[in-house]
């Protein structure tokens, strides 16, 4: 079973910047920003970039499996008043 729980856009209002680097993971950059559009409308936008180098085979040769990926997205949460009827 997989259970995925996410935070609402209202609970993630801020600017976050992440960077990671290593020997095979040449670089990871992620940025996220959340804010308010109206009193009951909140949003969050993000972007990520990953640069992973090739693995090395046991004979020392390059495995040729390097990859790069970029991703971005957004979320908008709105609370509406209940219908009075």
What burial class does residue 77 get, using C-beta atoms within 10 Å of its C-beta: 0-12 exposed, 13-18 middle, 19+ buried?
middle
pTM, entire model: 0.71
Look at residue 31 in the predicted model and tell me its pLDDT: 95
Domain ranges of the chain: 7-54
Look at residue 13 in the predicted model and tell me its pLDDT: 84
pLDDT tens digits, one per residue of 38-85:
999 999 999 999 988 888 889 989 888 888 999 999 999 998 877 666
Quote the tokens at residue 66. Answer: 């390097």
pLDDT tens digits, one per residue of 20-34:
887 777 888 999 999
């Amino acid at each position: 079973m997989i259970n995925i729980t996410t935070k609402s856009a209202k609970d993630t209002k801020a600017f976050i910047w992440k960077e990671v680097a290593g020997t095979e993971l040449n670089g990871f950059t992620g940025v996220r920003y959340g804010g308010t559009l109206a009193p009951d409308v909140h949003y969050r936008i993000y972007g990520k970039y990953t640069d992973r180098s090739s693995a090395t085979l046991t004979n020392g040769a390059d495995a040729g499996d390097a990859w790069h990926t970029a991703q971005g997205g957004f979320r908008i949460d709105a609370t509406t008043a209940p219908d009075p009827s």
